Structure 1
Amino acid sequence: MILIEKLITTNSWWDCEDSIAKNILGQYLLKHPNEIFDVIERFSNSNSIWLNRSAIVFQLGYKKNTNFDLLKSECEKHKTSKKFFIQKAIGWALREYLKTNPEQVKNYVNSSNLKPLRQKEALKNFF
């Protein structure tokens, strides 16, 4: 986990961080589910935008294995952030899960008072 965190925070930009969050952090946590709460709580409460973003998007590709309660919790925690890359992460993570469970995402977005960019990104592919 120390190496993963270092990869995310060293010379970071969204494209590198997203790949690491999904393919390394996400896969690691799938194999070690007992570590999810501690790792995501620490990343989510960090002063690093890239660790915050990783806590939001690490479940990309989980599909039916997505812990939607955890995803919603991360969205709620960061929904007032003015940081563009956090706003986009929330929208992207919700849009990705929309492909698996559109009604849950639509209901959450409609009831959560998300800012417009997050709503737009989350429901971009909803027909």
Structure 2
Amino acid sequence: MDVKGEAARVLAELHAQADPMRAEKEKSYLKSDLVHIGVTVPALRKVAVSAVKAKPTREEVLALAQLLWDVTDEGRPVHEARMAAIDVLVKRSALLEPRDLGMAERLIRDSVSWVYVDVIADKVVGGLVVRHPHLATVLDAWVADPYMWIRRTAVLALLPGVRTGNPDLERISRFGDALIGEREFFIRKALGWVLRELSKKDPAWVVQWVEPRLDAISGVTFREAVRRLPAGEAARLSRPS
């Protein structure tokens, strides 16, 4: 693969689909300081995925993703280029190895929005943890990290295990207790999402975890945790004040 050539092609195709009005609306919605081109998500994903349709090596995937992530316009990162970088990693995530968790961490620490962090956390970090369970020990450090987006990643990276029917209940409980007093909305929401997803498969566990913590759990976390509970299970819980 001509990595630089593919990166240039991706950018050219994105600019060819530029919609200034959409760019302004998206920039406002995301409260973003980045440069926005104004490309729909499906169109952006199609362009990004086309760059790795062949059989790139792991090194080529990482290099292409890094090139796209580092694209700037007048000194500012470009939103669509960063989204394309993430799509490239997700599309070829099966090639990633445990050592690539370091790159994922760098991208997260360079992110300032859920729109980048959430996909990396779920599809890249979470995917690596599912395939290489020993990596979960990294999440143990991340859940106490000063950077809020790293803490959110530690929680959201547990989602793939829940979806595949192999939830890390010990970490869900431990991380929940560590973060139950969080003031950050995005952390409270993330914990609620994990509990909500788990409630689809093991509602009794979620009820048993939430019930003794009703006085401590935030309203945001609580609402997400009970959203998909069967009526009978949800009836055991009362909304915290």
What is the TM-score normalised by the length of structure 1? Answer: 0.92
2: distance between equivalents of 1:22 and 1:11? 15
What is the TM-score normalised by the length of structure 2? Answer: 0.50
> In structure 2, what residue type is equivalent to 1:84?
F
**Contact 2:143–2:154, Cα closer than 8 Å, also in 1:** yes
Counterpart of 1:123? 226
- Specify every segment of 5 or more residues in structure 2 that has no aligned partner in the other structure, as ranges: 1-100, 231-241
More helix by share: 1
| Structure 2 SS opposite 1:80 | coil
- Return the index of the structure with the highest Cα Rg: 2
Give the paired residue count: 126
2: distance between equivalents of 1:117 and 1:90? 9
Counterpart of 1:85? 186
Matched, 1:35 2:135: yes
Matched, 1:2 2:102: yes
2: distance between equivalents of 1:19 and 1:73? 23
Counterpart of 1:22? 122
> Relative contact order: is structure 1 or structure 2 higher (C-alpha 8 Å, sep ≥ 6)?
1
Matched, 1:45 2:144: yes
Per-residue CA deviations over 1:43-97 (Å, capped at 9, x if unaligned) read 1121110110011111213232111110111111011011110110111111011
The root-mean-square deviation of aligned C-alpha atoms, in Å, is 1.2
Identity of aligned residues (%): 25
| Structure 1 SS opposite 2:159 | coil
Counterpart of 1:56? 155
2: distance between equivalents of 1:121 and 1:88? 7
- Specify every segment of 5 or more residues in structure 1 that has no aligned partner in the other structure, as ranges: none
**Contact 2:127–2:160, Cα closer than 8 Å, also in 1:** no
2: distance between equivalents of 1:89 and 1:15? 13
Counterpart of 2:205? 104
